[in-house]
């Protein structure tokens, strides 16, 4: 086996789950309680796979669930190795302690951000970068909650690796000053690693205890009662979210996260723009995102040659899948969509989008003048390194 990041990640995932890589769906639920895995298996009539991380899979739904245990280090590891399978979306179904006075046990929390008071996220992002979920995924979570009658709140959470903080008055005073609505041990890590690895990530949390209230700290008995009463309902909500996600356009979920497509920027680099084989996708991820410093330097130089999200912007402008070319000889001015103001030639073919898009270096464009750029389809030699 080649000692590459993707091959090691795949090997680690299979080793910890005792499950072949091919069984994992594109939509992934994450939890840290075995009751969720059992309920998932019962709903879809499948078995819970053994291993360090219990897991279950519903092939007909393109959906998988992993129970990874508790704590940010394990949460970061799972998120890292999962990113190498190119998931469409990852949703965390976890428990949290409600710190807002209006929250009650059994209510749901949709975190809009989480304070990074843990260690693993620092290995992926600078401390100045906030831990945020995918906005499109959060909107879908809220839609699923609105369709139900379950009380829910949105707001900022705090993620900490500090246990027994409930007896630290200084820490509790800090929580009140930060005005967070809930606290947990994994969310900030999930969001940070998801952002760093370009994986759309969100969370739907269940309030299991109210630690700032007298007698509100979770115990063995109260924790078991919460899981018995609410775990199945919580899981079903997560499945509803994933069902709604499948009905959404892929680019709307991916736009925030994909950093570059052949040097393009964050805008418009949707999953739908990539129709190559899994092998080529892994090669792209290795070339552009997981390589050494020299590879990343080459990627930055390519960023300077290619306009941001040009292909997807043009598709947005015509409202259909298209084959996109741009030339100074036969320009067409886009007047709508995110590609407004970009001079391109667009041929709406009705066929799937091109398998490959590449910049022609015969007339190197500048960052301010992309009219000389020619974008065309090529065969399978995109990632061969012959630029």
Among residues 295, 383, 311, which one has the least CA distance to residue 346?
Answer: 311
Q: What is the pLDDT of residue 376?
A: 29
Count of domains forming the chain: 2
Domain, as residue range, for 25: 5-254
What is the average per-residue pLDDT within 246-274?
A: 44
Helix (H, G, I), strand (E, B) or coil at 200: coil
**Residue 386 in domain:** no
pTM: predicted TM-score of the whole model, two decimal places: 0.68
E strand segments, the chain: 27-31, 54-58, 63-67, 89-98, 108-117, 152-160, 182-184, 201-209, 323-325, 332-333, 343-347, 358-359, 375-376
Residue finishing a domain among 254, 279, 305: 254
**Residue 297 in domain:** yes
Q: How confident is the model at residue 181 (pLDDT cuts 50, 70, 90)?
A: very high
Residue finishing a domain among 219, 254, 289: 254
Looking at the structure, do residues 122 and 199 belong to the same domain, yes or no?
Answer: yes
- The Cα 41–Cα 61 span in angstroms is 13
**Residue 262 in domain:** no
Q: What is the pLDDT of residue 3?
A: 82
Q: With the C-alpha atoms ordered 308, 314, 290, 133, is the resulting torsion angle positive or negative?
A: positive
Question: CB of 213 within 8 A of CB of 115?
Answer: no
Looking at the structure, do residues 247 and 278 belong to the same domain, yes or no?
Answer: no
The conformation of residue 104, written as its DSSP 8-state character, comes to -
List pLDDT tens digits, range 79-102.
Answer: 999 999 999 999 999 999 999 999
Looking at the structure, do residues 223 and 90 belong to the same domain, yes or no?
Answer: yes
Is residue 150 scored above 70 in pLDDT? Answer: yes
**Residue 241 in domain:** yes
Q: What is the pLDDT of residue 247?
A: 83
Q: How confident is the model at residue 2 (pLDDT cuts 50, 70, 90)?
A: low
Task: Give residue 339's Cα distance to chain centre.
Answer: 25
- The Cα 344–Cα 333 span in angstroms is 6
Is residue 76 scored above 80 in pLDDT? Answer: yes
What is the average per-residue pLDDT within 265-291?
A: 43
List pLDDT tens digits, range 344-384.
Answer: 333 333 333 333 333 333 333 333 333 323 332 222 222 33
Q: What is the pLDDT of residue 286?
A: 53
Q: What is the pLDDT of residue 142?
A: 93
The CATH code of the domain that includes 157 is: 3.40.50.1580
Looking at the structure, do residues 79 and 38 belong to the same domain, yes or no?
Answer: yes
Looking at the structure, do residues 173 and 308 belong to the same domain, yes or no?
Answer: no
Looking at the structure, do residues 150 and 282 belong to the same domain, yes or no?
Answer: no
Query: Of 17 and 363, which is predicted with more confidence?
Result: 17
Looking at the structure, do residues 175 and 211 belong to the same domain, yes or no?
Answer: yes
Question: CA of 147: how far to CAs of 125, 141, 237, in Å?
Answer: 35, 10, 10
Q: What is the pLDDT of residue 256?
A: 53
Among residues 305, 364, 356, 310, which one has the least CA distance to residue 337?
Answer: 310
- The Cα 86–Cα 278 span in angstroms is 9
**Residue 264 in domain:** no
- The Cα 386–Cα 242 span in angstroms is 39
Looking at the structure, do residues 101 and 192 belong to the same domain, yes or no?
Answer: yes
The conformation of residue 197, written as its DSSP 8-state character, comes to T
Residues 6+ apart with CB under 8 A from 8: none
Question: CA of 251: how far to CAs of 26, 196, 257, in Å?
Answer: 15, 18, 10
Looking at the structure, do residues 11 and 132 belong to the same domain, yes or no?
Answer: yes
**Residue 387 in domain:** no
Looking at the structure, do residues 182 and 141 belong to the same domain, yes or no?
Answer: yes
Look at phi and psi of residue 263 and say left if phi exceeds 0, alpha if psi is from -120 to 50, else beta. Answer: left
Q: What mean pLDDT value characterizes the chain?
A: 74
Q: With the C-alpha atoms ordered 12, 54, 133, 112, is the resulting torsion angle positive or negative?
A: negative
Query: Of 218 and 367, which is predicted with more confidence?
Result: 218
Q: What is the pLDDT of residue 282?
A: 56
Looking at the structure, do residues 188 and 83 belong to the same domain, yes or no?
Answer: yes
Q: What is the pLDDT of residue 141?
A: 95
Question: CA of 378: how far to CAs of 208, 276, 330, 360, in Å?
Answer: 54, 12, 20, 11
**Residue 385 in domain:** no
Residue finishing a domain among 212, 229, 254: 254
Q: What is the pLDDT of residue 350?
A: 38
What is the average per-residue pLDDT within 192-211?
A: 95
What is the average per-residue pLDDT within 35-55?
A: 94
Percent share of the chain, pLDDT over 70: 64
Question: CB of 96 within 8 A of CB of 207?
Answer: yes
Looking at the structure, do residues 226 and 283 belong to the same domain, yes or no?
Answer: no
């Amino acid at each position: 086996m080649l000692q590459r990041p993707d091959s090691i990640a795949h090997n680690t995932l299979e080793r910890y789950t005792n499950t072949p890589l091919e069984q994992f769906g594109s939509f992934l639920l994450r939890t840290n309680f075995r009751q969720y895995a059992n309920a998932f298996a019962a709903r879809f009539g499948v078995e819970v796979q053994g291993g360090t991380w219990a897991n279950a899979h519903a092939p007909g739904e393109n959906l998988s669930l992993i129970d990874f245990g508790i704590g940010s280090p394990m949460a970061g590891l799972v998120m890292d190795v999962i990113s190498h399978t190119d998931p469409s979306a990852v949703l965390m179904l976890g428990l949290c302690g409600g710190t807002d006075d209006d929250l009650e046990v059994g209510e749901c929390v949709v975190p809009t951000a989480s304070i990074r008071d843990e260690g693993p996220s620092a290995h992926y992002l600078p401390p100045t970068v906030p831990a945020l979920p995918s906005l499109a995924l959060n909107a879908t979570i809220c839609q699923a909650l609105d369709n139900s009658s379950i009380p829910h709140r949105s707001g900022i959470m705090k993620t900490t690796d500090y246990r027994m903080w409930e007896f630290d008055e200084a820490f509790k005073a800090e929580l009140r000053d930060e005005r967070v609505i809930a606290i947990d041990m994994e969310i900030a890590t999930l969001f940070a690693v998801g952002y760093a690895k370009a994986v759309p990530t969100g969370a739907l949390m269940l309030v299991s205890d109210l630690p700032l209230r007298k007698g509100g700290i979770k115990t063995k008995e109260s924790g078991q009662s919460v899981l018995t009463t609410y775990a199945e309902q919580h899981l079903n909500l997560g499945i509803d979210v994933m069902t709604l996600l499948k009905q959404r356009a892929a680019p709307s979920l991916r736009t925030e996260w994909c950093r570059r497509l052949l040097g393009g920027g964050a805008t418009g680099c949707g999953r739908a723009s990539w129709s190559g084989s899994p092998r080529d996708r892994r090669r792209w991820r290795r070339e552009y995102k997981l390589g050494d410093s020299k590879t990343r330097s080459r990627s930055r130089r390519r960023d300077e040659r290619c306009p941001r999200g040009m292909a997807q912007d043009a598709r947005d402008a015509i409202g259909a899948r298209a084959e996109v070319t741009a030339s100074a000889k036969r320009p067409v001015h886009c007047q709508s969509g995110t590609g407004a103001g970009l001079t391109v030639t667009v041929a709406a073919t009705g066929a799937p989008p091109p398998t490959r898009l590449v910049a022609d270096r015969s007339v190197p464009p500048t960052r301010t003048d992309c009219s000389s750029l020619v974008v065309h389809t090529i065969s399978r030699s995109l990632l061969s390194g012959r630029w």
